[in-house]
Copies of this chain bind each other. A is one copy, B any other.
């Protein structure tokens, strides 16, 4: 079971408290299940700490992950923990006023521009950039710029990025990287996705 103990003490001149509160960049990648699911699970802990949470869903479908969205909306509105803002690329980011004929590539870049603005303003304490690895992998958003912006972000803002094929540079830069490795999946045996499990 996790012990919460570091395996090495770095010679960085920081106190334990400073190291304890260091903001993290986490990446959930790999072809297995659980990348986004674990990111939304992290949001439960952040919510319990009373943190403002920003979810940016870099996916085409507006219906995708409606279960997680409804749950986090109810939590955010409960008045007991932190707040939750849920932004969806699939229905056109809410802060954009324009025609619908914008490419997914442009939408992805618009999403990243908003993340940059929120990081600069320290709007949230946890950012879930769901499926953001895809626009990075495809070159729609420049990974070098993303790393530079994340490296220089002010305050204590944690960022989790999900999606297959996270660029190697991002993996090298991130603090915590988990590869969700598929051992077995019911679709391999002909099982279709089902309500309550896949969505």
Which B residues lie within 8 Å of A41 (CB)? 34, 36-41, 68
B71 pairs with A75, CB closer than 8 A: yes
A191 pairs with B38, CB closer than 8 A: no
B30 pairs with A187, CB closer than 8 A: no
Contact with B along A170-199 (1 / 0, CB 8 A): 010011111111111111111111111111
Segment from A13-21, A92-100, A115-123, A143-151 that makes contact with B: A13-21
Which B residues lie within 8 Å of A191 (CB)? 6, 19-20, 22, 24, 175
Which B residues lie within 8 Å of A179 (CB)? 32, 180-183
Q: How many copies does the complex hold?
A: 2
Residue of B nearest to A199 (CB): B45
Minimal beta-carbon separation of A183 from chain B (angstroms): 4
Residue of B nearest to A196 (CB): B49
Q: How many residues of A contact B (CB 8 A)?
A: 84
**Given A74-B81, A177-B184, residue A196 in contact with residue B34 (CB < 8 A):** no
Which B residues lie within 8 Å of A60 (CB)? 1
A67 pairs with B38, CB closer than 8 A: no
A66 touches B (CB below 8 Å): yes
Residue of B nearest to A194 (CB): B20
A114 touches B (CB below 8 Å): no
Q: How far apart sit A67 and B45, CA to CA, in the bound complex (Å)? A: 4
| In the A-B complex, the 9 residue pairs with the closest CB atoms | A37-B41, A45-B67, A34-B38, A48-B67, A10-B190, A177-B183, A44-B71, A4-B193, A49-B196
14 CB < 8 A contacts A-B: A1-B59, A19-B190, A19-B192, A20-B192, A20-B194, A24-B197, A38-B41, A45-B68, A45-B197, A48-B67, A49-B195, A71-B75, A171-B183, A176-B186
